[in-house]
Structure 1
Amino acid sequence: MTATLTDTTTRPATLAEWRAAAAALTIDGRPVIDGRRVDARSGQTYAKTNPATGEVISQLHLGDGSDVDAAVASARAAFDAGEWSRASATHRREVLLRLAELIEARSDEFALLDTLDMGKPIGESSTIDAPGAAALFRFYGEAIEKLSDEIPVTPAGSTALVTREPLGVIGVIVPWNYPLEIATWKIAPALAAGNALVVKPPVEASHSVLLLAEIAAEAGLPAGILNVVPGRGSVVGTALGRHMDVDMLGFTGSTEVAKQLQVYAGESNMKRLALEAGGKSANVIFADTDDLAAAARKAAFGIFYNQGEVCSATSRIFVERPVYEEFVHLLEDAAEDFQPGDPLDPESAIGCLVSEKHADEVWECIEQARAEGTIVQGGNRPAINGRRTFVEPTIVTDLPADHRLHSHEIFGPVALVTPFDTEEEAIAKANETPYGLAAALWTGSMSRAHRVSALLVAGTVSVNTVDALGFTTPFGGFKQSGFGRDLSVHALENYSDFKTTWLQWG
């Protein structure tokens, strides 16, 4: 069992204290199948390292098709047994609320696991991600008890009942940039609806989701309802996508993989899909913006937060020409607040990228920008802990209109800033992407805000802010950003469907 942190009355507050807390952890990298930790049947393990230091933090077990088969069989048996799938909404609510309490009780441990796994700042994982996961389980626990079935109008002598039914066995594939948080976006509503799950966390960051499944039994979740099989996407993800006994698959990741999952669904059992894929979001700054400095600060947040490893990051910034030069200078100033540092330091604004391989990919994009555009800020890889996984926030201007970086999802702290002259041009530039996940616009005109937001093709348009989301609003995209929605009560639609029972009595 994963060791808990030593009981203290206060959270670690310094780099030294967080390092000590990290050193006290014993991290278990084994799958959770049928309610308990087991060795991967594949027999394969992987020395998982901390990208900020290169230190090995666990031996992560890598599952294969046989592990997926075992997990799916466990999930199917648990679903069919009905202890969870046919439980009252009130019972499911109580279990999810207890699970939220357990996450809160071990929130520092959850935060450390994500920070050690993928390099995000402990200041974010401990105050936003882990508490947010607990809060989301509360949200869906409360929501499921408040949904009503229907009795629609039918002819005399008959009654029809319309009930919302769980789908069965749900496969979940989640990314490494928000390991616990995005997993919770899918696990919480799927459990609330009464399903059984098999989750494939990312190899880069599996440990927080494994811990979540481990403590779920303590909350009262029946064995087999929440299974977690870490492993390569090409192995475990493919096995889930092609499995004939997986009824639905929820996914967040790349567009390329999302398209492949559609193929697998068609080749297997026509399993349902909810796919949140790539993004290349636009942030449009009009000259009539009331507070240009505030727009610049938010623009910096929109691309540099979480090291730029955000699917909805507003990485393409379009600025109306009369304020273009001023805005670029303000953005340069704002970028200074997002300098990288040791992820375990609460003072670090951003951490390291998830791996040296990914940092190399981001660096290649920066070098292309350096050769064909102008880097006005950043563009360096500082040596922190002797590692090459840290990249400064980088601002790029003067890229040709047809440059690949305008459409390529860099997934790092790189902002592309481009001027525009007319509202029509700004809308066209913003929509000139295969993605449609998010967008932002800044203006002091209410009529422009309504007019432009209506024409931006994006699942979420943030006006006078960036990347706005909340538990009560759906999140997802159009075009090649996928379909289906996370968050809000609408996420329950991914994991349930309506059943009509017609009673003829006269």
Structure 2
Amino acid sequence: MADLHLPSRALVDGVEVEAQSGETIANLSSRDGHQINTLPALGVADVDIAVRSARAAFEDGRWRNLSPKARKKVLHKLADLMEVHAENLALLESLDTGKPIANTRSVDVPLAINTTRYYAEALDKIYGEVAPSPQDRLSYVLHEPLGVIAAIVPWNFPLHMAMWKVAPALAMGNSLVLKPAELSSMSALYTAQLALEAGLPAGVWNVVTGLGVVAGDALARHMDVDLIAFTGSGPVGRSLMRASADSNLKRVSLELGGKSPQIVFADCDDLDTAATNAAWGVFYNQGQVCTAASRLLIENSIKDVFLEKVAKVARSIKVGDPFDPATQFGAMVSERQMQTTLNYIAKGKADGGKLLVGGGQARATSGGFYVEPSILDIARDNILAREEVFGPVLSVMAFEDEADAYRLANDTIYGLAAGVWTANISKAMRAAKQLNAGLVWVNGWDACDITSPFGGVKQSGFGRDRSLHALYKYADLKSISISYKA
């Protein structure tokens, strides 16, 4: 760890830079509260330089005019280098966010590498179209890169979410400016340097650090950005749409919050597996997951039996130092997120919720920001049935029948993910239709991979990450008609 390089400067036009103002942000470790390093707090003028760098790279064609074979080679080389540096990336992710090192080694970094390889392989599988035309005309359609992409990504899966946007945007030939969360910028900065080593031309991928209300807003309002690709909160998503309208009507793709339900019917034939998924569906990554299964809906006839199984799993989870390979459950990303979660638990109890497991701060003497895995039995009008906590809080409600389950599951402003557990295939098929969510999982939770589109409906946003569909988000259709003498 002592020899690990900690990135501490932004990357613009292939060069590490400080903020022109000299302002910095203290980067704190959620593991123990100590300062890790400082990062530049880039301002509007700094962001403008980064966007102009990306625009120049796009216009002169140093990346987009390369053949698909050449772009593929660079992206595969990047994935190779990420594999070589996987341990460093895992350490940076754990240090920045408080994630268990076991997870960053086995999940976060491997998935980011897999995403890079997937889009490297996919980029030459995108074909245009030939339209039906008269005999004296040839009409065809091309997918062309949009131009300058601004990707703004969250702190809960810093590198993983970054590569969901960076890899397809680069695969389609765009240039981009990445704005990582101020709480978790180091793995993105490290990887962008690896991209230069892999042969990505300078200026094609810029990384700006700083506060979202400054650097992120500057990207959203910039007249030379063609698309904002954002994952984060609903209020920020709304602000980005307003900024787009106030500037150049740039496109906006939003993956926002969720209050995802997991429904367990009495005919589920494996309650132990369902209970494990119900617990880890919300407690994984300390509950800081947009698809967290934060509402557990149990058919009334099995509620007590099933809830005890879930509680048993929750009590068995090993909370500990993120750097301990045996730790299953680490720290919240910040003191603010810890306090927000504890405040929600208090509000849920004040609303009549019955605390069954956890409910308090964990490892208080560590100096870090830890919250116990917590379960509350609540009524349908409880605040915990409505608002996204983004922490390790499971809200439990009972339902009477199938119609009641779907009504309760859909009774939310969000529509990101939903799950159902049943041994009845007809019921499973009905649930898949009735649940109003962008992702529906039957007899499993988070049971998908890079090949499946990811995104939501309602106030969970619009646009899709992952799969081939994501590539089209970073491209535009151009129709061409050529008239000739038949």
TM-score (norm 1): 0.94
> Does 2:407 match 1:434?
no
Query: Pairwise mapping of residues 130-209 of structure 1 onto structure 2 (< 5 A)?
Result: 130-209=109-188
Q: Which one of 357, 360, 363 corresponds to residue 377 of structure 1?
A: 357
Q: Is structure 2 residue 97 aligned with structure 1 residue 102?
A: no
Give the aligned partner of residue 124 of structure 1: 103
* Match of residue 268 from structure 2: 289
- The whole-number CA distance in structure 2 between the counterparts of 1:245 and 1:122 is 39
2:455 to 476, 479, 483: 476
User: What's the counterpart of residue 240 of structure 2?
Assistant: 261
Match of 1:310 in 2: 289
Q: Determine if the alignment matches structure 1 residue 408 to structure 2 residue 391.
A: no
Q: How many Å apart are 1:385 and its aligned residue?
A: 5.3
Q: Shift in Å at residue 469 of structure 1?
A: 2.4
Give the secondary-structure state (helix, strand or coil) at the position aligned to 2:396: strand
Q: Which runs of 4+ in 1 moved over 6 A?
A: none
Contact 2:30/2:368, CA 8 A, preserved across alignment: no
Given candidates 317, 327, 341, the residue that maps to 1:338 is 317
SS at match of 2:131: coil
Residues 303 and 323 of structure 1: is their aligned pair in 2 closer, same or farther, counting only changes over 3 Å? same
Q: In structure 1, the residue corresponding to 2:376 is in which secondary structure?
A: strand
| Contact 1:382/1:388, CA 8 A, preserved across alignment | no
Render the CA deviation track for 1:389-437: whole Å, top value 9, x for unaligned: 111110100x232122211110011000111101111101100000000
Amino acid paired to 1:394 = S
Deviation at 1:128? 1.1
Residue 254 of structure 2: which of 246, 267, 275 is its match?
A: 275
1:439-454 correspondence runs (5 A) = 439-454=418-433
Contact 1:353 1:390 in 2 (8 A): yes
Contact 2:320 2:363 in 1 (8 A): no
> Which one-letter code corresponds to 2:371 in the other structure?
V
1:342–1:385 Cα contact (<8 Å) kept:
no
CA distance in 2, matches of 1:87, 1:180: 26
- How many Å separate the matches in 2 of 1:62 and 1:250? 21
> What does residue 64 of structure 2 align with?
85
* d(CA) in 2 for partners of 1:322, 1:388: 41
Does the Cα contact within 8 Å between 2:32 and 2:369 map onto a contact in 1? no
Q: Distance in 2 between matches of 1:89 and 1:150?
A: 18
- Say if 2:23 is the partner of 1:44: yes
Structure 2: distance between partners of 1:467 and 1:281: 11
Counterpart amino acid of residue 345 in structure 1: D
Q: Distance in 2 between matches of 1:290 and 1:495?
A: 43
Q: Percent identity?
A: 45
Number of residue pairs the alignment of both structures matches? 484
Give CA-to-partner distance per residue, 1:55-98, whole Å, 9 cap, x none: 22111111110111000000000000102112111111111000
| Paired letter, 1:391 | V
One-letter identity of the residue aligned with 1:193: M
Matched-pair contact (CA < 8 Å) for 2:178–2:207: yes
Q: Give the match's secondary structure for 1:172.
A: strand
Say which SS state the counterpart of residue 362 (structure 2) adopts.
coil
Among 55, 60, 76, the residue aligned to 2:34: 55
Q: Which moved more, 1:188-197 or 1:400-409?
A: 400-409
CA distance in 2, matches of 1:412, 1:387: 19
C-alpha distance in 2, partners of 1:39/1:377? 46
1:229 shift after superposition: 0.4
Q: Give me the whole-angstrom Cα distance separating, in 2, the residues matched to 1:247 and 1:400.
A: 45
Greater shift in the superposed pair: 241-250 or 332-341: 332-341
CA shift digits 1:99-119 (9 cap, x unpaired): 000111101111111111110
> In 2 relative to 1, CA 385–220 (structure 1 residues): closer, same or farther, beyond 3 Å?
farther
SS in 2 for 1:411: coil
**Contact in 1 for aligned 2:347/2:383 (Cα 8 Å):** no
Q: Residue 381 of structure 1 aligns to which amino acid in structure 2?
A: Q
How far the C-alpha of 1:388 sits from its partner, in A, is 5.0
Distance 1:44 1:196 in 2: 27
In the alignment, the residues of structure 2 paired with residue 439 and residue 482 of structure 1 have an alpha-carbon distance, to the nearest angstrom, of 15
2:349, 2:136 → 1: CA distance? 75
TM-score of the pair, normalised by structure 2: 0.98
Alignment of 1:68 onto 2:33:
no
Amino acid at match of 1:355: S
Matched position secondary structure for 2:21 = coil
Contact in 2 for aligned 1:319/1:417 (Cα 8 Å): yes
Q: Which of the residues 433, 441, 445 maps onto 1:466?
A: 445
For 1:498 and 1:91, the matched residues in 2 are separated by 23
Question: What residue identity is the alignment partner of 2:298?
Answer: V
Q: What do the CA deviations read for 1:133-165 (whole angstroms, capped 9, x no partner)? A: 111111001001122222222110111221110
Task: Provide the C-alpha distance between the structure 2 equivalents of 1:173 and 1:82, rounded to a whole number of angstroms.
Answer: 24
| Paired residue type of 2:413 | P
